[in-house]
Amino acid sequence: MIHIGIIALLLVAASQDRPPAQAPAAEAPPQQPDETLKQRRAELNLLGATDASAGESKRNENIQFNLIDNNAQKDLNRRLGTTATVSPVFEAQNGYYGSEFGASVAKFSSASGQNTRDAWHGTLFETYSDSALSARSFFQVGGVQPAHENRYGVSLGGGLGRFGYLSIEGTQQKLRASVNGDILIPTPPERTVLTSNPATAAIVSKWLAAYPGVLPNRTDVDPHVLNTNAPQDIDSNAAGATWQLQPGPRDRLVAHYLWTTQNVDAFELLPGQNPDTSTRSHSSRLTWDHEIDSNDALVLSAGFDRLHSLLTPEPNSVGPHVVVGTVFNELGPGAEIPLDRVQNRFRTSALYRRRQGKFEWTAGWDVARLQYNGREVNSNRTNWYFRDDFGRTAAMNFALGIPSRFSTGIGELDRGFRFWDQGYFAGVRWQPYSSLTLFFNLRYEPVLAPSEVNGVTPVHIGCDCNNLAPRFGFAQRLPGSWGVVRGAYGWFYAPLPASTLAQLRWDPPAFHKIEVQAPDLLNPLAGLTIGPDTRVIFLDVPQDLKTPYSQQYNLAWEPQLPSNWKLSLGYVGSRTAKLYYQWYANRAVPVAGIPLTTDTVTQRRPDPRYYDDRKVRNMGRAYFDAARVNLTSPSWHGATFDLAYWFSKAIDTGANYTTLAAGEDPRNEVSQSEFGVQQDLRGPSVFDQRHALSLRWNYDLPKLRHSALAAEHWLGGWSASAVFLAKTGMPFTVFTGSDSPGHGNVDGDGGDRPDVVDPSVLGRTIANPDTARRLLPLSAFRFLTPGEQRGNLGWDTFRRGGIRNLNAALSRTWVLHREQSMTFRAESINLTNTPQFAEPISDMTSPAFGLITNTLNDGRSFQFTMQLRF
């Protein structure tokens, strides 16, 4: 096998009988190739990467999400929370929207590169882990299944004489995982088809046959729970090259290219449960850095980025998307599968700097043209919903073939949208005194009206042309040992919302989204004709839709401590307005003389042109405040530590900085009623965590003394490191689980919350599977009574358990020659095998309501890395 061969090669190289040599001269080592997947996982929606250095444990892969939009970032926020971040200065050329939560800063493309020494240097590495050394996850039945991960790569860099400097890197990841999880399957009595209609019985029988023909094995949790395993294969590749050339003493050219791919053969605990995903990314930049004179410099850059995302159903999928309340697992992937999306971004940017006495002036632009092409469905495979309704359970309605709701999409799918993404900026850095520095910057970010190149989808959105974003800050050095005080304020606009506006493809006249309440399973569209007057689910995007913006402000004090101790005390806050929210309007209302039942929902909608009228509006607001303390120790007998603690509070009205009002957002943030949406959804943000602690520790073991030279060469100089992350739990909400009479408000949409009859449960943290149901009893709530429009339970009024994770590593570097060294690293992720429990089942119609049945992280694992530098 490849990994055995590489490790053997490194060991042979290391075994040469050489005396210890002096370490190579210090230089900034090239980024390890495997860092690409970790750093770009949120940008490209990649799986299989874990930031162990930040205290992260491996995610439990049985929590699936579609690898598009910003879903990976949302998954990180829901699983790990955010990191309160104080930016020391808001530079004019960079984008800081969401940076207070730890999101990456959108940095201006510059000509920075690696050391341009003539000699060639490189790195060869391999990392391997195997399930033989892993612990099983908390709820897993049976032993750990065979699995392994193999990552290997190479990086090279050196001079090309008068042709400059070239560096190349590449890495591959082969992840062969076994995903464990619970699925809900029918019990033997529930596998009996109850309908007498042969055609209906054939459909129900086909769907029942999709569930594994075995008995549930976790009946202590729920009579329907089967804990099982399924393979998941992830193949990732990353390769890049950087060429640097100095054609003159004042000029520097840098050309950079990065290619990233990932294929995910998704786990299928049920046949066809999850889509397979192919991700292809190309990124290229050409930058010219020109020093005009000793005071003036110019940077010009052009780039092209391409991202192709392809999500396809697994071949064994039953076809449609079938939902049986929460009593059985859904069949088939979601309504948005399949998806074929290509995004091309052409970018130009410029940055001019001028130093003039105590001033440094900055001006420039960053302009991009986005092509957003593809074929994307919306319920074209059809959706069937069975729930507690008509006086029967969801399981019984399923066996009878009597659904509560049907929806489908009919029409042309291919579209090509075009967007402009622009930013123009100017700023000044002024140092009136040696102890005081002031910053003043201004950006202008107009959002022009997008277009659809095929002329199929009209886009009636005007220019949002008043987007001025001022920024200013200061740094004051205080007398004596009082240190430095910094403060900054900035106004930041959200990135271009391509996915939000591209939903217009599903509006008439080229596309019709249709729903039927209480449909006939055999002929759900009986009596319906497709035409200009066909009733549809309509997406309404107003002409005056604006870009969300955030005002961020911070203050930090860094006193000067003795003995090289470092302390930073900081505050960061933000207020975000005009966040996108998809408002479900035209819901069914009580009408005198019409029964309040599921089959009258369409009849009771006020506007007969639509089912749901889904209005994308700037309705959301968000608030964030955090205090942060950082303490870094000096080296003491080889030991150092870095401690960070932050106390934060995040509140919103149903939308946050990651909300697109597209994909899963509308279903995850739906209000109980069409009216009073902001009041109904006001509460802690989904990623709100009040307390967080991060502790990094490193200890360099002393070298052996008074020992043989060879023994000291091999046994001395080890380094031990660890990172501990602790966070309080994030909030969750209890739902009635059904919109039908006797459960919800029968308005045609979900999101109904119950009435609280025992207020003592409010605010509880449900963190232990042994006590979860006692702390969150079903008896504390009641379903809505007929005619009641909303329950009195607030939004996100409970919290799940927090995070307690320890990662540790042991490493040693041997110098083989003046320019050669070998490093061995053994690392454990989740060393203490501590589970991070998910929230309990919060659907009141589920037999498992109040029980914790899953974890967000995986069990303890070990990985081993060998690296050769030459």
With a cut of 50, list the residues of the chain below it in pLDDT. Answer: 1-33
What is the model's pLDDT at position 532? 86
Q: Within a 10 A sphere around the Cβ of 470, how many other Cβ atoms? A: 14
Q: Sign of torsion, CA 767 770 773 774?
A: negative
CB 387 within 8 A of CB 325: yes
Which residues, including other chains, have CB under 8 Å from residue 580's CB and lie 6 or more apart?
497, 500, 548, 616, 617, 618, 620, 655, 659, 660, 661
CA angle 235, 240, 245 (to 5 degrees): 180
Which residues, including other chains, have CB under 8 Å from residue 162's CB and lie 6 or more apart?
none
What b-and-e string marks burial along 832-848, b requiring 16 or more CB atoms within 10 Å of the CB?
Answer: ebbbbbbbbbbbbbbeb
Q: How far apart are CA 141 and CA 139, in angstroms?
A: 6
Q: How far apart are CA 552 and CA 490, in angstroms?
A: 5
DSSP letters spanning 297-330: EEEEEEEEEEEEEEEE--TT--SSEEEETTTSPP
Query: Which ranges constitute the DSSP H helices of 595-745?
Result: 665-668, 677-681, 709-715
What is the model's pLDDT at position 705? 61
Q: How far apart are CA 563 and CA 635, in angstroms?
A: 10
Q: How far apart are CA 299 and CA 301, in angstroms?
A: 7
Pairing of strands 405-411, 225-248: unpaired
Beta strands, E only, 275-399:
276-291, 296-312, 321-324, 339-356, 359-376, 383-386
CB 538 within 8 A of CB 614: yes
What is the model's pLDDT at position 410? 95
Read off the tokens for 613: 């009228």
User: Token pair 């699983």 is at which residue?
Assistant: 79
Pairing of strands 610-632, 276-291: unpaired
Domains, the chain:
2-15+17-126+174-420+470-520+534-706+721-869 (2.40.170.20)
Query: Which one, of 759, 779, 767, 755, lies nearest residue 731 by Cα?
Result: 767
Pairing of strands 511-517, 405-411: antiparallel
What is the model's pLDDT at position 712? 56
Pairing of strands 566-585, 549-558: antiparallel
Q: How far apart are CA 260 and CA 283, in angstroms?
A: 9
What is the model's pLDDT at position 87? 96
User: Token pair 């569930």 is at which residue?
Assistant: 211
